[in-house]
Amino acid sequence: MILIKTHDFYYDLPPELIAQTPIARRDASRLLTLNKETGETEHHHFYDLPSFLRPGDCLVLNDSRVLPARLIGHRVPTGGACEVVLLIDRGENTWECLVRPGKKLREGAVISFGEGELTGQIAQVLDNGNRLIRFSYEGIFLEILERLGKMPLPPYIKEELQDSERYQTVYSKEIGSAAAPTAGLHFTPELLEKIQAMGVAVCYVTLHVGLGTFRPVKAEEITDHQMHSEYCVISDETAQIINRTKAAGGRVICVGTTSCRTIESWAGEDGTMQASAGWTNIFIYPGYRFKVLDGLVTNFHLPESTLIMLVSALAGREHVLAAYEEAVREKYRFFSFGDAMFIY
């Protein structure tokens, strides 16, 4: 067995290429196309994507919607400032959360948000350092979150987001993500209509993105990395569309690594799909054999991340790193609010 090192997926990225804000028009971002077989690249714009699709293809989109999950509050009764990020709904008004400052938020501590409109009590300190917080409120929790919460932007984005909808895809529907499925941020309703009008099927899966997606790989060998778990759903309608596409010789093209991980998690060994739901911790890296996926629309990912390992499994590490180096030379915008790639 060949050992794959985390450092094999490093590339040098000037900090000024990390996009801090979304561009004015979603589909005007740049699009680097990469032929996974030859490594050939071309430079386009995202609105050119339909010219790379064919009638009979199928686009798979992740319709998860980001919770305004970052809450700024104060400790009761001291008044000390604190921050909570909601991660997973554990039921009965209890959420698994990240908290700051951890040393002050021990079991039993009470936090108040928005003049006491929402309060939370630390029910348990978990082994991973996260907290279980039981919330108390009057009314509807999601409506309170819309008022009090902020978007939990990735740690590399330092600027305040002016319009929170720009960190949501235009087709987002199922609330539950702690981070956006960012490859989908480039689509507009008009672009999706154009794609469907040319005979490309569009279907949806749901994967609620966790903040574990930003967790660095600290293991020297990637097989030693413990992958985080995320909840995902494939409807019967989506399963049937994918099966029909494959049977007719069309390509299944996922928008984003989250859509890719969802369908690859639940595909049968023969590549057939059926309605499924559950937690996945699938870790895709070079050597993986894709069962369903043929092409991928994706953003540019952090050096040494599980996501650059996934795209390397599809297109080959050498091709991917060469494409990234070209994107750096051409001053593409990187990460969540950055430009896109189409790997085909």
Confidence grade of residue 54 (pLDDT, cut at 50, 70, 90):
very high
pLDDT at 185 over 70: yes
101 preceded by cis ω (within 30°)? yes
pLDDT at 49 over 80: yes
What's the chain's average pLDDT? 96
Bridge partners of 33, per DSSP, are: 42, 342
The pLDDT tens digits for 294-340 are: 999 999 999 999 999 999 999 999 999 999 999 999 999 999 999 99
The three-state secondary structure class of 76 is strand
Beta strands at 70-76 and 110-113: parallel, antiparallel or unpaired: antiparallel
Q: According to the model, what pLDDT value does residue 273 have?
A: 98
Mean pLDDT of 124-130: 94
Q: According to the model, what pLDDT value does residue 1 have?
A: 59
Q: What tokens does 340 get?
A: 């896109």
The pLDDT tens digits for 248-297 are: 999 999 999 999 999 999 999 999 999 999 999 999 999 999 999 999 99
Rounded-to-integer distance, Cα 217 and Cα 74, Å: 33
Confidence grade of residue 215 (pLDDT, cut at 50, 70, 90):
confident
* Distances from the Cα of 173 to the Cα of 4, 23, 67, 122, 264, angstroms: 38, 23, 11, 30, 22
Rounded-to-integer distance, Cα 323 and Cα 329, Å: 10
Q: According to the model, what pLDDT value does residue 210 have?
A: 87
Mean pLDDT of 234-247: 98
DSSP string, 265-311: HH--TTS----EEEEE-----TT---SS--EEEEE---TT-HHHHHH
